Amino acid sequence: MERSTFIRSLTLATSIVGISLLHYFTPLHLPYLHAIFQRLYYLPIILAALWFGLRGGLSCALVVSIVYAPHILFQWGGALTMEMEKYLEILLYNIVGGVTGLLSQRERERTVELQKTARGLEESFQKLQHQSERIIIIEEQLRRAEKLSTLGEMAAVLAHEIRNPLGSIRGTAEILKDDYKPGDPKHEFIEIQIRETERLNRVVEDFLHMARPQPTQMTPCSIQEELETIATLIANDAKARHISFVLHPPPAPVIIRADGEKLRQAFLNIIINALQATPPGGSLTVSTTLRQREDSAPVCEISFSDTGSGIDAETLKRVFEPFYTTKEGGTGLGLVVTKKIIEGHGGRLLIESDHGRGTTVTVSLPMLEGGKQ
């Protein structure tokens, strides 16, 4: 029982007992005093109705009736008109208790309803505010992305234009080279010129290759094999950082339709983040589980759990924003690219983090019908 309920109940009980004692111990030849005491009973009845609603009002009226009735019956017994008036008063106690209780209960329900509506309105307002803030942020990102994509296109055109004169420079250098014998310092200078031109050409080629969007090549691929390839790739890095890397195999072979290279890139981004966040002596555990929900296709969940620094709530809200990084020298694009790749495979990416204890990144990917092949 709550403390306030207890105090209220005690107040009611004390006042009923007090008024009843006054009735029982006041001589009957003082009827005007009895008339006053009789009306005093309304106080606890109305209070009970206000505090405890219909049930409280009625219960209190009933208790008063039971306590008061013997007094009428045994002490007043005989004077029928007097008795009748007092019995009527008992009836009134119950009516007053019931009606007041009912009204106060309705009022209370209405207040609760109003409070609920107010809370709902407050929540809607907060959501609206949150959404409008997000719209502003997204708008800003779009503007930035637009600028970047224009810059990227310009850079690609520039790289393309550099390639042609490079070809001419290399060609003329080859011709000039023939004029000098090997061993001649000029012959060597021209060789350096050719080598550097080739290097420049390779840089430009690589840049163009990177700038061109690569088509996705969906083929059946084994999740475990992809993870094992990455494990080999990062083994040295993990060892140098004194982090133990554990790869648990799935319960059954998991084959999904995917672009293996892109998937590896996504997994690698997640693993590199985990290694960067985990101090020496920590661990990174990767495990794959299968889930089959009744209403959807089978899904495989790959979880990457590290014992690193974790992510605080504010940062967690922003990790998927392009260029958001907490690292010196970070680009803040790792998770953006990763999310895009996973969603491009019809999957989902979830990050849960316990600040100071570690982070778990879960990738869910839809499997081929039947789960294996």
Q: What does the binding site for ligand ATP look like in residue numbers (CB under 6 A)?
A: 269, 273-274, 277, 306, 308-309, 311, 315, 319, 324-327, 330-336, 359
Phi first, then psi: give them for residue 324, nearest 5 degrees: -85, 120
Specify the residue, 127 or 357, whose C-beta has the smaller distance to ligand ATP.
357
Specify the residue, 53 or 334, whose C-beta has the smaller distance to Mg ion.
334
Shortest CB 342 distance to Mg ion, Å: 15
The type of residue at 260 is G
Shortest CB 351 distance to Mg ion, Å: 12
Shortest CB 279 distance to ligand ATP, Å: 11
Shortest CB 274 distance to ligand ATP, Å: 4
**Contact partner at residue 250 from ligand ATP, Mg ion, none, CB < 5 to 8 Å by partner kind:** none
**Contact partner at residue 305 from ligand ATP, Mg ion, none, CB < 5 to 8 Å by partner kind:** none
Specify the residue, 63 or 335, whose C-beta has the smaller distance to ligand ATP.
335
**Hey, CA dihedral for 178, 182, 184, 187, is it positive or negative?**
positive
**Contact partner at residue 117 from ligand ATP, Mg ion, none, CB < 5 to 8 Å by partner kind:** none
Radius of gyration, alpha carbons of the chain: 42
**Contact partner at residue 307 from Mg ion, ligand ATP, none, CB < 5 to 8 Å by partner kind:** none
The CA distances from residue 156 to 43, 144, 163, 212, 337, in Å, are 89, 18, 11, 9, 20
Residue 255: strand pairing partners: 222
Specify the residue, 72 or 277, whose C-beta has the smaller distance to ligand ATP.
277
**Contact partner at residue 171 from Mg ion, ligand ATP, none, CB < 5 to 8 Å by partner kind:** none
The H-or-E segment that residue 256 falls in is strand 255-258
Whether 104 contacts 49, CB under 8 Å: yes
Q: Tokens for 94?
A: 């119950």
Shortest CB 175 distance to ligand ATP, Å: 45
Give residue number: closest CB to ligand ATP. 334
Give residue number: closest CB to Mg ion. 334
Contacts of 324 (CB under 8 A, 6+ apart): 318, 332
**Contact partner at residue 306 from Mg ion, ligand ATP, none, CB < 5 to 8 Å by partner kind:** ligand ATP
**What is the binding site for Mg ion (CB under 5 A)?**
273, 334
Helix residue spans in the chain (DSSP H): 3-25, 31-40, 42-70, 80-177, 185-211, 223-240, 260-277, 313-318, 334-344
**Contact partner at residue 97 from ligand ATP, Mg ion, none, CB < 5 to 8 Å by partner kind:** none
Shortest CB 350 distance to ligand ATP, Å: 12
Phi first, then psi: give them for residue 259, nearest 5 degrees: -95, 105
| 226-237 b/e (C-beta count within 10 Å ≥ 16 → b) | bbeebbeebeee
Specify the residue, 153 or 354, whose C-beta has the smaller distance to ligand ATP.
354
Shortest CB 272 distance to Mg ion, Å: 6
